[in-house]
Amino acid sequence: MYLKDELLNAIEKEALVGRGGAAFPVARKWRRIRDLQKPKKYVVCNASEGEPDVSKDFFLLEHYPVEVFKGMLLTMDFLQTKEGYFYINKNYYQALQAKIDPLLEFCRQRGYLINLFKEEPTYIGGETGALLNSIEGKKVQPRYKNPSPSVLGIFGAPVLLHNVETFYDVACVATDKFEQTRLTTISGDGLSQPGVFRVKNEQSVSDILRQTDNLPDFDFFVQVGGGAAGEVLTSAQAETAILSGSGSIRVFPRTISPYSFLKNLFAFYTRESCGKCSPCRDGSWQLLQLLTGLNEESELPWERFSPIIKIMDKGSFCNLGKSIALPVRSYADNILGIKV
Amino acid sequence: MSKIVTVYIDGQPYQAEEGQNLLQIALANQVDIPHLCHHPDLPADHNCRLCLVKHEGEVSTSCEIQAREGLRIETKDAEIQELRTENLKLILASHLEKCPKCQKQLPCPAAGLMKKYGVTSEEYRRKMLDLSVHKMSNAAEFDPNLCVRCGLCVSACANIGINFLKLEGKSSDAHLTHSQNPKVDCIYCGQCTVSCPVGAIREQSHLEEVEAVLADPEKIVIVQMAPSVRASIGEEFALEPGINLEKKMFTALRRLGFDKIFDVNMGADITTMVEAEELAERLRQKFAGEKPSLPMFTSCCPGWVKFLEFYYPELISHLTTARSPHIHSGAAYKTWWAQKAGIDPNRIVVVSLMPCTSKKYEADMDKLTFEFAGYKLKPVDLVLTTRETAALLKKHQLDLPNLPESEADLEGEYSGAAAIYGASGGVMESALRTTAHLLTGQELPKVDLQEVRGMKGIKKATIKIGEQEIRVAVVATPRNARNILEKIKRGVEEYDYIEFMACPGGCIGGGGQPLQGTAETIKKRIAALYTIDAEKKVRRAHENPVVQEFLAFVKADPSLAEKILYTTYSAKNKFE
């Protein structure tokens, strides 16, 4: 098993990236925090998983909890710290308590103080700044970009934060079992095998659907990457597209009406906006209002969506509000042939 | 000292400290960038997203860009204008129909932005939450359905150390509310109302009532202006802070139709006399080896008094029993002056112009009413904030800066000691000038007490009066008050006399003052007050002939003196 510097080198060689969605190089994060002269550092595991259509972290905690905790302890050893947080979606904890509690106790007995933090499940709760605020007892809202959590994370100390899958990958690298794969969550009505699958990093979306026996026998399009925030692609584009973000693939029948598709999307943003900044908070709600009174057959008021999408994209405080532009624009452009 | 760098805004070079944000730099140099959630003295939250500019071809909020050498931003780009406008439409959806300040034409930053960007607030409908307007006693109020959730009021409330206001809920349900904690209550200081950019949190207006009494021929309407108002009201007329408009104000008030122009400063001299007598008495007892309630606390700030009555009721006995200046003078008009002028006191209406919202709460206190000439009378009937006063003048097309000067009526005469009541440390200084006289029969060797002046939240000094050393402290904001009170309770620090004010800098930084004042603005206003004092011939309350005449009148009737010079205090519950 690789430890400390060897492990860092191995991680760098395998080009491990964060699996929370941002794909930040793991080795860079490790080195940056290791080099800080701070008396205290925290390692935090993000098991919030608030994106719709993503359940890979649940899958890992259900089937590979030992590996996830092993990854966490290896990271703590690397940083020479004994303190950490296991930040988990409350519903996940309820379902997985029997697996998680003994592991926390195991860590405790070996002198690793990993605090359990049960989160009220929200989308924004998994955003780094909001997550750290939540641990500090502050409002669950994203933070200003400076200083970075790697420098000032919680209680004045730097935080090394990874997603569940990233810690799992760290454990795999340490034991030479990492094979350049990642997890995907496949969902959608009418699929034969929806669920979580292990796939190769460079595999195309259509290939993944084929290999997992999920290629639909109906006309379809896909939304790929970050759940509701993912990019919308035609089945033809899916032949070459590579999995991104948190690895979700959602399949939609071509027959779904623009009204239904957008209503779902706008409702997600309206529900999950943290309420901090006006473009996201007010924009998402106004978008949903623009659908009031319309139905499956209605012509949609794209000219009214457009300025709201634009201010959300360019003006939102965090990536949640900004992220609405990608699904709306790619859906309009790729599926409907409309420029927004 | 940070490094000085050159940044370029629309091609123009500006010097700034490295790391300073571009919005601050632009505002400091009169470059217009719209904003609602920024205040130079409060932590940045970056939530209104209005201060958009272009930086390296990308759209960004200027409050999030930090200055470095050669950095360039564009503020006038067409895309930027379009985005700002759209955002303003979203933020202010349904604003106009709900805003009483818009309807009364009270000053408001959002109203200016709406005009500038051609936003009517009717572009979008706002999500109305099932929440009612919350009244902070009779002082202020907030309407969650008008709030744009910028959080400035929450920060202002936290900043002074109260934490009554908070934002709750997520997404479009995010709303302004107050703490449910039974041990946390509002003290009516109104700092929140100064910071609100949209009029969602504001004073409870008395404008309509004032106009009604002015139009009523049966009423004798007396107006009295607090020390601070004259040094700040110019800001509402686009003048620099710290220009004393006292004499122009007297003209304006006469033109508005007030029957008598008196001055809260005269009341401040009464308060100084009453309070100094009590302090001198408590000190004499102490020197004689008795145990009077010391330190004595000032009580002229109703926000501070509410703070003590709610958070530290066990220390109530330390408060001076003297009433506050406008309450003293209000009762003086309705007794002494009414008798002198041969006017039925029941016809008199007293209107105070105050830099304060808690003075509205104070004026309405039942405990301050008194019986005289067969009537039950209130010392003060109505209170206008500085902002309301300016709105009233504007409504009547009175262009204050260009009015001729005039004097107050005779009974408005005051000493320099009264003028400085508006500044933190001023009450202390005035009271000590007179206490020294009462204890020693002589004046202090130096009339100016520099030790108790300035913007520091806690000022401590030892003042020599005769052979005795008097330990004093001057404290502004509840945050600092807690600090000192805890030390007193634990016996770590000892004092003889402490002045407390709820607002930063004292009344001059009050909750009724022009919107969005900053520490810098307050400093300039304070300088104006000390200039008034320095230029006065009479600098001590006990040398004011009007006050001497009034006190001779009232002390001839001890039961009347008891009713209109002194007050009592009691422990307060939440919302009381």
Which of A146, A275, A314 is facing B59, going by the closest CB pair? A314
If residue B463 lies in a helix (H) or strand (E), which one and from where to where?
strand B458-465
- CA-nearest residue to A318 within chain B is B47
Residue ending a domain, among B367, B383, B412, is: B412
B91: distance to nearest CA of chain A, Å? 6
Q: For A314, which of B47, B83, B93 is closest by C-beta distance?
A: B83
* B283 pLDDT above the threshold of 80: yes
- CATH code where residue B309 lies: 3.40.950.10
Is pLDDT above 80 for B106?
A: no
Residues of A in contact with B172 (CB under 8 A): 270, 273, 275, 281-282, 284-285
Residue B124 shares a structural domain with residue B176? yes
Q: Which residues of chain A have pLDDT under 50?
A: none
pLDDT of residue B101: 82
The answer to whether A131 and A161 are in contact (CB under 8 A) is yes
In a domain, B96, yes or no: no
Same domain flag for B25 and B51: yes
Residue B10 located in a structural domain: yes
The model's pTM is 0.93
What whole-number distance in Å separates Cα of residue B81 and Cα of residue B51?
A: 10
Place of tokens 């000892």: B494
- Residue B21 φ then ψ, to 5°: -85, 155
Of the pLDDT bands very low, low, confident and very high (cuts 50, 70, 90), residue B1 is low
Residue B576 lies in a domain: no
Residues of B in contact with A308 (CB under 8 A): 86, 90
Query: Is the link from the previous residue into B40 a cis peptide, with omega within 30 of 0?
Result: no
Return the closest-CA partner of residue A27 out of A44, A51, A55, A7.
A7
Cα separation, A129 vs A113, in Å, equals: 22
CA dist., res. A312 & res. B245, Å (int): 46
Mean pLDDT of B378-399: 97
Same structural domain, B318 and B346:
no
Residues B376 and B332 in one domain: yes
Q: Do A286 and B47 touch (CB under 8 A)?
A: no
CB-based contacts of B163-168 (< 8 A; 24+ apart in sequence)? B165/B192, B165/B201, B167/A139, B167/A275
Q: What is the pLDDT of residue B517?
A: 87
Tokens in use for B66? 């930090």
Q: Is residue B104 part of a domain?
A: no
pLDDT at B566: 98
Q: In the predicted model, is pLDDT for residue B107 greater than 90? A: no
| Residues B462, B316 within the same domain | yes
User: Which residue in chain B is spatially nearest to A307 when comparing CA positions?
Assistant: B86
Which of B412, B437, B467 is the C-terminal boundary of a domain?
Answer: B412
- Estimate the crossing angle of helix B545-555 against helix B558-565, to 10 degrees: 120
Residue B388, domain member (yes or no)? yes
Please indicate, yes or no, if residue B174 is contained in any of the structural domains: yes
Cβ of B173 within 8 Å of Cβ of A145? The answer is no
Q: Is the dihedral of CA B22, B28, B33, B34 positive or negative?
A: positive
Asked if the C-beta of A282 comes within 8 angstroms of chain B's C-beta atoms, the answer is yes
Cβ atoms within 10 Å, residue B96: 15
- Residues B421 and B340 grouped into a single domain: no
A273 and chain B in contact, CB less than 8 A: yes
Q: What is the pLDDT of residue B103?
A: 79
Distance CA A127, CA A125 (A): 6
Rounded mean pLDDT of B120-148?
95
Helix (H) or strand (E) holding B78: helix B78-91
What is the pairing mode between strands A195-200 and A181-187?
A: antiparallel
Among B158, B129, B165, B155, residue whose Cα is nearest residue B144: B129
Asked whether residue B389 falls in the same domain as residue B457, the answer is no
Q: Does A304 touch chain B (CB under 8 A)?
A: no
Are B190 and B237 within one domain? no
- Domain identity same for B451 and B524: yes
Closest residue by Cα to residue B52 from B89, B102, B3, B88: B88
DSSP-derived pairing of the beta strands B201-203 and B175-178: unpaired
Mean pLDDT of B282-308: 97
CATH of the domain at B367: 3.40.50.1780
Asked if A275 contacts B172 with a C-beta cutoff of 8 angstroms, the reply is yes
d(CA A116, CA A162): 15
- Contacts across the A-B interface (CB distance below 8 Å): 91
β-sheet bridge partners, residue B328:
none
CATH value at residue B13: 3.10.20.740
Number of folded domains that form chain B: 4
Q: Which domains are present in chain A?
A: 4-174 (3.40.50.11540), 181-253 (3.10.20.600), 258-336 (1.20.1440.230)
Nearest to B47 among A145, A277, A311 (CB): A277
How sure is the predictor about B108, in pLDDT bands with cuts at 50, 70 and 90? Answer: confident
- pLDDT for the residue B345: 97
Residues of B in contact with A139 (CB under 8 A): 167
Q: Which residue has the tokens 């999307």?
A: A265
SS3 of residue B188 by DSSP? coil
CB-nearest to B124 from A277, A286, A317 is A286
Q: Is residue B109 part of a domain?
A: no
Q: Parallel, antiparallel, or unpaired for β B497-501 and B468-476?
A: parallel
Q: Which residue has the tokens 């935090």?
A: A44
Beta carbons of A317 and B149 less than 8 Å apart: no
B469 and B382 share one domain: no
Residue B330 lies in a domain: yes
Residue-range definition of the domain harbouring residue B312: 276-323+416-546
Neighbours of A242 (CB within 10 A): 14
Q: Are residues B72 and B132 in the same domain?
A: no
Per-residue pLDDT tens digits for B54-90:
999 999 999 999 999 999 999 999 999 999 999 999 9
Contact B51, B62 (CB under 8 A): yes
| Same domain for B14 and B44 | yes
For residue A283, the chain B residue with the least C-alpha distance is: B90
Q: Rounded to the nearest 10 degrees, how much is the dihedral formed by the CA atoms of B48, B62, A160, A326?
A: 70
- Residue where a domain stops, chosen among B200, B226, B243: B200
Q: Cβ of B90 and A283 within 8 Å?
A: yes
Assign residue B162 the CATH number of its domain: 3.30.70.20
H helical segments located in B396-440: 416-419, 426-440
